[in-house]
Amino acid sequence: MRTESEPIASPAQPAADRGPDTTDAATTDAATIRPTVMLAMNESSRARVLVPAVRERLERVAHVLPADPGGDFLADPAVREALGDVDALLTGWGCPKITPEVLDAAPKLRAIIHAAGSVKHFVDPAAFDRGIQVSSAVVANALPVAEFTVATIVLSGKRAFRLGTEYKLTRQRPDASSAPGNYGSTVGLLGASRIGRMVAERLRVFDFEVLISDPYLTQAEAGELGAELVELDELFSRSDILSVHAPLLPETVGLVDARLLGLLKDGSVLINTARGRIVDAAALERECRAGRIDAILDVTDPEPLPPDSPLLDLPNVFLTPHLAGAVGNEVARLGELAVSEMERFAAGAPLHHVISSAELGRIA
């Protein structure tokens, strides 16, 4: 599943970082020595991420050591010994923490390429201090979230979720003329993360007015996204549909509080595909129980919701089980991006999706 592991405000991303790279990268020639790569992900991740065609690409450019760490790398003497010859780690879900001790056991290690989202919680900062390149497929996981969000925004404009639920419950066709529609509606984006930027770019084809709020974004950058940069209060007070795209950081826990929710217009819609704890759960429940706003929630606080949560029964709340990120065949996109990076690494070419140590404080 995805992690909305982007800063609430990140510097403008290079073009190569605005969408998953599934094109063929530079590959090694016959004279190039193939690097030794260890697969540091669990068996389930390997099967989902490295589909046969992608695995074949990897094995053409690298000598692949399968490893299912399961726990601490260094707990297994055989893995510890093998790390001594490893040039790169291809990591994924199920990878244990890459600690300084792991790095000590891998003196040749020059790259950690993550076939998933955030690297913050398993790659020790010591890796950056040692000059090891760290790359992430977070952008490939961001794309399905952006697609999901755009689809949800369009359906929300017609109040499809609320009216559809009402239709099922009452067995009477509701009056669809009460839906505001999408022409000229105002969509607010909280956060210019990778996902937030992708959403803004994809909303250009619709007749929406798009607002965005992010303390690090400039008005010029917002304009390039087809959006107007506004302060938080204005974002909430003007939006007909507001979508959350901030990372979960200490300063963003409860960011969407009772005061901001109170600024939303009556009948507006809140969409959250980021993290449940960014929104004050009690305040959101009060607003939804009053019927004043609709909520489309792919994430909640807590997650999952307890069986007695009122949100499970409210007709103006539409819940999905944390599925906006890569699922099913979408997961292979992460492997494609990671192997493209490994092809570049093997060829001595620059990686396209590097995470810098400076970003660690701003990613979830």
Please return the burial class of 276, using the count of CB atoms within 10 Å of its CB with bins 0-12, 13-18 and 19+.
buried
Q: Look up residue 108 and give its DSSP letter.
A: T
Q: Does residue 112 contact residue 132 with C-beta atoms inside 8 Å? A: yes
Residues involved in catalysis: 275, 303, 322
Q: Does residue 344 contact residue 351 with C-beta atoms inside 8 Å? A: yes
Give me the phi and psi of 256, to 5 degrees please.
-85, 90
H helices within 188-312, ranges in order?
194-202, 219-224, 232-238, 258-263, 281-289
Q: Does residue 264 contact residue 235 with C-beta atoms inside 8 Å? A: no
Q: Which of 119, 124, 67 is nearest to 101 (CA)?
A: 124
Taking the C-alpha atoms of residue 181 and residue 12, their distance in angstroms, rounded to an integer, is 32
Radius of gyration of the chain (CA): 22
Amino acid present at 190: L
Query: From residue 78, how far is each of 83, 107, 131, 321 by CA, in Å?
Result: 9, 16, 26, 39
Q: Does residue 343 contact residue 57 with C-beta atoms inside 8 Å? A: yes
186: helix, coil or strand? strand
Neighbours of 107 (CB within 10 A): 11
The answer to whether the Cα torsion of 69, 72, 76, 80 is positive or negative is positive
